[in-house]
């Protein structure tokens, strides 16, 4: 059985604990590896390594750090298939989907290649006569990232390139469900020339997380995961004086206006609802058609599409969706569908009994379409994080936006319409951080920043892009003036020589 | 006895509690007024008022909000003497010092006048073919400020103009020691055209503070005060999911290099050490001359200057320093001097027994100069917040910077030198947020931002300037594309009409 | 007869020439004043005054210059009626229209109030180890503006506040048709505290213009006027090595899509076509309805509106439009209508014979509506700069945009539609600098910048806003490092003293 | 004999003329190749190719254009030796110097990799109720670069990456003295994936230059060369309505203060004065020591260093300097030294008679040191562009800065001092665009911009960096609002269904 180890100061190590966690191939439902679990002492070792690496790394000219990012980009382009394979093997998503994940990660690295420009401070000459002000942003020190299973390469690479480019050293605690991608990322960075100790990987569970949250030498925490954990991370990390950005759950609605292109909308819902088995914080889980006529037409277009979804293991070509991450997840998702049905939702397409030939033990849930969902149902209120799309029929645009604004989450949302007025009103007034106009999954490109609102985020910063530069640096402002020195002295000393 | 009331939704009110706190004229040591104290219900009322005012205020074009800031600037320029008088009467600082406070506040208002430009988001055309991205920053909602006694007008006006200009509504909990300035600020804003409920003043103590920290409708907290309270504010505010910036205490060192202009340095130390009786978070409380020769010369220049300090009430012209804020503060400061003396510091000038004729009951502490202070002494470790300047003699530049970097605080610091290399090294490497080069009190101008490092700040944002725009707004990112609609339709529909 | 003089170095003067030009009240067709005309020597005197004022003005902290802009804003708000009256008396536009002109000018002053922030340079720490880079933008020196009759206050104030705030000194050569506004602007600036010589007004004609273009101490020229003159200004100013921005003529099309709100479109066309008697470079002079049905409906809505236009002198309330600027202009415009009619345009509403009771000698042209205009007609190809709206019927959206893209001018344009796709395509692809979506006159707000494309502009900079900061300043970049000096020296000198 | 051809639309071609120009190996004084020369028809062909390539290239998402820059970076890193060899063979500079040239070029490409971020426009929500403004910068079209012999790879790559990344297509007219580098750059770009026609190389002389300057489809010209030609380019290019940036000659002074580290200063002068045989627009050609004592010490340190200069062909290791570019240049430089000597300069080290064994026919001029140069001498007033360093002795700092400020050129300058006051005064007040503080050749890094002042530049833009983004794009501003459409319609249509 393969043993996935920590990587601290450039060295693989099992740390001081002999405890491990099983890692599965979810398409087969079989254990594929085991991963070590850190105790406090392991975290302390990693933090010490990162702290030791900080002075040299942070004082290195940012252009030199950028060079390593350029190298990393070249490596990641060349080896994207290898990374995608590593992702899919433990996560289950299709190869194309995994390649898409790598592409998004790549774009963050590309943005980090431009760090010299983004780290520019400001300069004001003569704020008063003879007094100048310069400001600059300096690295924080050791920072840490705690990342979820659903994007085992992308989410770490939302954080690491920006944190490192800004001059910080980093400790990643990846998901214990699919930890191999993190180690591969480390390997690529090492090949790109990253010095030992600048990036460290610590595997494990809540013990490791808490040790990071409490450690006084960890200056900032970036987290992506579910809302209850995000809130916990924000509270505990803040309690120890850190800056924290903790991105949580979502319930993303797509509003379909009567004038929308319904084929486009239906296609968009397929990708946004069932891609990656719905295990995306930007997945659309609720479609809100406006008016019964729109709803009926939309449903008619969705049913055959959901029924035709190709579900299977990532290494069979043609599949559009893989398994969910674990037996627990499978059980939880099926249970939520049961509950929705019990509460009155119409199960138009039912994925609960899906079995994939040759992979019968895999953690499968088929694409599921629920109609007549209402805002009181648990399938509406909770984030399902599975391949379940709910239709919640609204009569008016205002009813739809009230619904969205009332939801506890505010991560992403989308409207499909041709109408400039509807789109503008939606963009301006909806209480959600990431908004799509005829774009189902409005994940901002890497030179903008990712971040939701309300209980989808705790903290004041989005992730990657310009927000990351602010999050991973602190402001220093220098005000200066000079007493008359050698300049006047020179004039005084030598006049008889003229 | 004058009763200072809350101002909620534009109305003065005593709220539901009959409890009050005494307000003093510190130069006379006499009570001058009493201020009401809020209970939770009062805070709830204020938050409700601010919440009700939010939709109209935040949707108002930022240029309209800017117009009110322009009006406020005109009013504050015209009535600066009145504001200064209000400050001094309760705080004790000299009129000129109070006018300086008003000027700094004015500059923040001037920066807020430019909010239209600072709120610009970004636009990216064709992030993929036909897909555009727009980002914008929207107001948070109700935000609150909790401010200290030492700058009763300036610190509130570090927060309010930026918070309001960004579209938020505001609740100010000013210091209960000198609460009148807050109410005067409200009055001026009202005259400038600010709608009721947009700015609310709630007086009181920890009860009010906790109610603000815990209220789910308060989205952000700005705090300036001492470090223990700042830490508490950060923890409790974060625990309820808010974004928090909490600025704490300081121990600001000035390094005097052998090549410094020592007359300039000595003059600078007088203003920075004793101005406003040392009750400034940017006061210099430790002078670190490099080398015994430098130290001896500096001390020789300081002694007569400290002895000559003119101390007295604000309404007598010619005074350079007023009383400290309270009898408690007076007692605490004298106690720290006692302790320093006991621990071995040389009391070169002793302000403990100062009495001011005609104001014998005032809270006086005279300018005090301590030499041979060491890093183990309590006068070095603690923030005295009084007119006490300590000399800590260092032998080398490195010894001085090690000292500064090891201190728990990192608010401000300064170096006096003619040497570009020393200045550059100090600016680049010192672990302090605000650095002066031959500038004793390097408070950044209002178009930069104020903020320390280490335990002088909790949170990721400086106060006022560009940092304030980020703190008081949240990011929304819109990704859009359009289905072919009327444009192609127009082409299709009408060709036969030609 | 009132004599309007130059203002040089704060003094009114008639200069060395005794020649004057008559100034008219166009509503009465009577001379109201005469204005002096500069010869080369007068321009030289003005440039010398501006050059002498430059060192002190440019070295003044930008915050001090901003203070004068704040004062100017207060004065202009207080005295907007006086300025509007001064405009209308010589230009003829209605009082409300003149007030609108003042408001736009005011907004540029407000942007200039924020100059401290806009003049921030950039700072890069450690571009290589120990090497830092700072850049800053410094004022150019003496710069000049040459402005047209149609906005005698606004266009000068598009230039002056930004040029001055950036630290330049300025020479304005206003239109000789309505020169009084320029002198009033000078008076207000003087009251606001502007030192003598910083702003100078030189009246006259081509002699003065050429003298400015050729003077080696004038570092930049801003011009707004017709295209042939703009081209001449650009060539001659560039030939003497200056930076030049020269904004020329326009032929602004409004595309009306079949889905547009036609009442809104018709109302918009009334304001955009006939406001200020069409004498605006952003006036809409061509309406392009898509499809005959749209065209017929639009025309039906326009005819009664144009017929109902209230035309008369500015000092009679209720008028919507005043006279054109001169007898020559009146003759030229009527001649173009004649020509259009001769070439086949349908004159649906004919303003050629308008007479205003009591003002029979005024330079009147009534609102004129031409239909069936084609791209070969002179009324289409030329800028009429009068109250003449042409309807050019297009069959398709593509036909309309081809038309616009083929026109020599590219100043402004507009589309009226509800359709997001049409609007997006138009905004992205139309070859015009300022684009309106359901906005007929898309003059950018003062915190963006104004500027057309193609032969509507010569030079690389828009006017006012961020573009102005770049245009009116030059880049200085400082790269620095330091030899080990007193810092290391300090360490070396004193160790035995420890 | 190798024939160096144009590259138009991806194809090598000799064009329509049979005329060629000889290309030399300057170390051997022998012809190494011949280069074709374009006539007007060839330029027209190239412009047509670039114009045809423009629509697809400019509409391609900027991230796709950036990908090609990333590829180009990888290729240039891998093949830097090949490029350096190509440079040196025709230019004569040492291999290390040529590698340094490549590195600087590489940094511009790296900045261009971040174009997505730099092309972001601005977005203002609700400039009035319901009205939004977006601005963006769009490519100009076909732009051209005309580049000098002294940096045959770097200067073209100061222009091309930024122009292309912004969406323009490009025509390069490289120096006819060392044209091979341009063709190699094209080859690398083609390998990086640049589509045909996006970059075109046209070889030749003034005929080609004039054809580019006059062509109405060329929208902008970037030029680097001597001042008379720069002025000509600016005038002729502007006369045809283009935007032009034309960078000219220089006479760069280094001020050596009495407190400078004189060994550092002397070493810096060696590199800055004699590197690349002084054929750099940023070379230091005048050293200005302050005070006779400083001057004497400096001269004493310089003489042995200049005498020890290793001069020889680029392909012999250990050489520090190569030949000058041509027999004409050699003659001109020697003539200027003759003239300086005749006018009274002391020739402390004389390079006029240098002969290099085995390369006797090469275009050699040895390192030459002139003392007691005065401002009236031709060696001071003219740009020598050869390995000649003049000492001009000044008595005071003020005398030195007056000298610099009075010179017609203002490209670069440097001060060597330890004194913060002298450095600050110099940086703030010297009338030069690029300033070094203890940095002899202050060429700004690629994320800042390059540009001088006075007659060292014609036009308003520096080259590369942020300035390039402004130069190579034009501003479009969109103001939008929406009529109530489907949104309200949706509400109206369906209420009975609720």
Q: Does residue D125 have a pLDDT over 90?
A: yes
> Quick check: is D359 catalytic?
no
Distance from CA of A453 to the nearest CA of B (A): 8
Chain D's closest residue to B66, CA to CA, is: D127
Give A 448-487 residues with CB within 8 A of chain B: 448-451, 453, 455, 458-462, 467, 470-471, 474-483, 485-486
Task: Report which secondary-structure segment, H or E, holds A200.
Answer: strand A199-201
Q: Give me the residues paired with residue A121 across strands.
A: C123
Chain C CB contacts of B425 under 8 Å are 482, 487
Average pLDDT for B231-241: 97
**pLDDT at site B489:** 62
Chain A CB contacts of C414 under 8 Å are none
* Residue ranges in chain C modelled with pLDDT below 50: 491-498
Chain C's closest residue to B420, CA to CA, is: C482
Q: Please say whether the structural domain B2-248+456-478 has been given the CATH code 3.40.605.10.
A: yes
Chain A CB contacts of D63 under 8 Å are 107, 445
- Closest alpha carbon to B274 in B282, B264, B286, B283: B283
Phi, psi of B227 (to 5 degrees): -65, -45
Average pLDDT for D448-470: 98
Contacts of B307 (CB under 8 A, 6+ apart): B349, B367
Chain A contact present for C376, CB below 8 A: no
Residues of chain A with CATH 3.40.309.10: 252-437
The CA-atom distances, in angstroms, between B217 and each of B42, B242, B475, C487 are 14, 9, 19, 52
Chain A contact present for B405, CB below 8 A: no
Total-model pTM: 0.97
The helix/strand/coil state of D174 is: coil
**pLDDT at site C361:** 97
Q: Among B64, B261, B494, which would you mutate to test the C interface (most chain C Cβ atoms within 10 Å of its Cβ)?
A: B494
Q: Which string of DSSP letters, residue by residue, matches B42-74?
A: HHHHHHHHHHHHHHHHHHS-HHHHHHHHHHHHH
For D428-452, how does the pLDDT look when each residue is reduced to its tens digit (9 = 90+)?
A: 999 999 999 999 999 999 999 999 9
When mean pLDDT is compared across A405-419, A476-490, C256-270, D99-113, the lowest value belongs to: A476-490
Task: Report which secondary-structure segment, H or E, holds D98.
Answer: helix D95-113
Q: Which string of DSSP letters, residue by residue, matches D139-156?
A: E-SEEEEE--SSSTTHHH
Distance from CA of D388 to the nearest CA of A (A): 26
Q: What percentage of residues in chain D have a pLDDT greater than 90?
A: 96
For D154-179, how does the pLDDT look when each residue is reduced to its tens digit (9 = 90+)?
A: 999 999 999 999 999 999 999 999 99
Which other chains touch chain A, taking contact as 3+ CB pairs less than 8 Å apart?
B, C, D
**pLDDT at site A498:** 34
Average pLDDT for A66-75: 98
Binned at pLDDT 50, 70 and 90, residue D491 comes out as very low
State whether A136 and C116 contact (CB < 8 Å): no
**pLDDT at site B494:** 37
Which sequence positions of A are flagged as catalytic? 281
Q: Does residue A173 have a pLDDT over 60?
A: yes
- Where on the phi/psi map is residue B125: left (φ > 0), alpha (ψ -120 to 50), or beta? beta
State whether D423 and C474 contact (CB < 8 Å): no
Residue D257 · residue D422 · CB < 8 Å: yes
State whether D117 and A114 contact (CB < 8 Å): yes
Distance from CA of B381 to the nearest CA of D (A): 32
- Closest alpha carbon to B261 in B441, B415, B444: B415
Chain B CB contacts of A443 under 8 Å are 479
CA angle D261, D263, D265 (to 5 degrees): 70
Chain C's closest residue to B64, CA to CA, is: C107
Q: What percentage of residues in chain D have a pLDDT greater than 70?
A: 98
Give A 97-126 residues with CB within 8 A of chain C: 116, 119-126
For B113-150, how does the pLDDT look when each residue is reduced to its tens digit (9 = 90+)?
A: 999 999 999 999 999 999 999 999 999 999 999 999 99
**pLDDT at site C491:** 46
Q: Among B460, B469, B474, B486, which would you mutate to test the A interface (most chain A Cβ atoms within 10 Å of its Cβ)?
A: B460
Q: Give Cα A223 distance to the centre of its chain.
A: 8
Binned at pLDDT 50, 70 and 90, residue B496 comes out as very low
Give A 211-230 residues with CB within 8 A of chain B: 220
Chain B CB contacts of D420 under 8 Å are 417-420, 423, 437-438
Which sequence positions of B are flagged as catalytic? 281
Q: What percentage of residues in chain A have a pLDDT greater than 90?
A: 96
**pLDDT at site D490:** 55
State whether D239 and C243 contact (CB < 8 Å): no
For B286-300, how does the pLDDT look when each residue is reduced to its tens digit (9 = 90+)?
A: 999 999 999 999 999
The top-level CATH class assigned to A252-437 is alpha beta
Q: Does residue A417 have a pLDDT over 60?
A: yes
Chain C contact present for D60, CB below 8 A: no
Distance from C-alpha of C256 to C-alpha of C296, rounded to nearest angstrom? 12
Q: Which of B113, B397, B483 sits opposite C491 (nearest CB)?
A: B397
**Maximum CA pair distance of chain D?**
103
Chain B's closest residue to C483, CA to CA, is: B421
Q: Which of C396, C483, C498 sits opposite B395 (nearest CB)?
A: C498
**Average pLDDT taken over every residue of chain A:** 96
Chain A CB contacts of D115 under 8 Å are none
Chain D contact present for B258, CB below 8 A: no
**pLDDT at site C492:** 42
**pLDDT at site D216:** 97
- Where on the phi/psi map is residue C238: left (φ > 0), alpha (ψ -120 to 50), or beta? alpha
Q: Higher pLDDT residue, A238 or C494?
A: A238
**pLDDT at site C498:** 34
State whether D467 and C475 contact (CB < 8 Å): yes
Q: Does residue B446 have a pLDDT over 60?
A: yes
Binned at pLDDT 50, 70 and 90, residue B389 comes out as very high
Residue B245 · residue B459 · CB < 8 Å: yes
State whether B122 and D121 contact (CB < 8 Å): yes
Chain C's closest residue to B116, CA to CA, is: C447
Selecting among C113, C166, C281, C359, the annotated active-site residue is C281
Chain B contact present for C429, CB below 8 A: no
Residue D232 · residue D214 · CB < 8 Å: no
Binned at pLDDT 50, 70 and 90, residue A288 comes out as very high
The CA-atom distances, in angstroms, between A39 and each of A180, A206, A207, A213, C159 are 19, 9, 6, 13, 66
Q: Does residue A451 have a pLDDT over 90?
A: yes
Distance from C-alpha of B126 to C-alpha of B132, rounded to nearest angstrom? 5
Average pLDDT for A128-155: 98
Binned at pLDDT 50, 70 and 90, residue D498 comes out as very low
State whether D475 and C418 contact (CB < 8 Å): no
Binned at pLDDT 50, 70 and 90, residue A490 comes out as low
Residues of chain D with CATH 3.40.605.10: 2-248+456-478
Binned at pLDDT 50, 70 and 90, residue B308 comes out as very high
Which other chains touch chain B, taking contact as 3+ CB pairs less than 8 Å apart?
A, C, D
Chain D contact present for B62, CB below 8 A: yes
């Amino acid at each position: 059985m393969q043993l996935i180890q920590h990587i601290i100061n450039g060295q693989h190590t099992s740390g001081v604990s002999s405890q491990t966690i099983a890692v599965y191939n979810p398409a087969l439902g079989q254990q594929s590896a085991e991963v070590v679990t850190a105790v406090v002492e392991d975290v302390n070792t990693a933090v010490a390594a990162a702290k030791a690496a900080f002075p040299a790394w942070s004082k290195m000219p940012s252009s030199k750090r950028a060079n390593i990012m350029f190298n990393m980009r070249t490596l990641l382009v060349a080896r994207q298939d290898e990374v995608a394979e590593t992702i899919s093997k433990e996560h289950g998503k299709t190869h194309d989907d995994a390649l898409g994940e790598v592409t998004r990660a790549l774009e963050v690295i590309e943005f980090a290649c431009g760090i010299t420009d983004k780290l520019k401070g400001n300069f004001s000459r003569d704020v008063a006569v003879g007094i100048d002000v310069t400001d600059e942003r300096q690295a924080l020190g050791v920072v840490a990232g705690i990342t979820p299973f659903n994007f085992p390469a992308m989410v770490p690479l939302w954080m690491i390139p920006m944190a490192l480019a800004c001059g910080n050293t980093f400790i990643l605690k990846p998901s214990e469900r699919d930890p191999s991608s993190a180690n591969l990322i480390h390997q690529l960075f090492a090949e790109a020339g990253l010095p030992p100790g600048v990036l460290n990987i610590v595997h494990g569970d809540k013990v490791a997380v808490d040790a990071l949250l409490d450690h006084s030498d960890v200056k900032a925490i970036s987290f992506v995961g579910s809302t209850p954990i995000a809130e916990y991370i924000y509270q505990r990390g803040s309690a120890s004086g850190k800056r924290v950005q903790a991105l949580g759950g979502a319930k993303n609605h797509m509003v379909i206006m009567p004038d929308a292109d319904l084929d486009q909308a239906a296609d968009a819902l397929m990708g946004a609802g069932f891609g990656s088995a719905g295990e995306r914080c930007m997945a659309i889980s609720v479609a809100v058609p406006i008016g019964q006529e729109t709803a009926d037409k939309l449903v008619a277009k969705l049913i055959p599409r959901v029924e035709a979804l190709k579900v299977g293991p990532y290494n069979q070509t043609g599949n559009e969706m893989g398994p969910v991450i674990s037996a627990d997840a499978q059980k939880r998702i099926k249970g939520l569908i049961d509950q929705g049905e019990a509460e009155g939702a119409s199960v138009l397409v039912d994925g609960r009994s899906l079995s994939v030939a040759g992979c019968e033990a895999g953690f499968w849930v088929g694409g599921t379409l629920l109609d007549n969902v209402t805002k009181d149902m648990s399938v509406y209120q909770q984030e399902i994080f599975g391949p379940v799309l709910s239709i919640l029929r609204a009569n008016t645009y205002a009813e739809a936006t009230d619904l969205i604004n009332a939801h506890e989450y505010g991560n992403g949302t989308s409207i499909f319409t041709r109408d400039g007025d509807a789109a503008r009103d939606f963009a301006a007034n909806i209480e959600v951080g990431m908004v799509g106009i005829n774009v189902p999954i409005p994940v901002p490109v890497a030179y903008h920043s990712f971040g939701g609102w309300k209980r989808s985020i705790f903290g004041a910063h989005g992730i990657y892009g310009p927000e990351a530069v602010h999050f991973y640096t602190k402001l220093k402002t220098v005000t200066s003036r000079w007493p008359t020195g050698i300049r006047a002295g020179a004039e005084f000393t030598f006049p008889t020589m003229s």
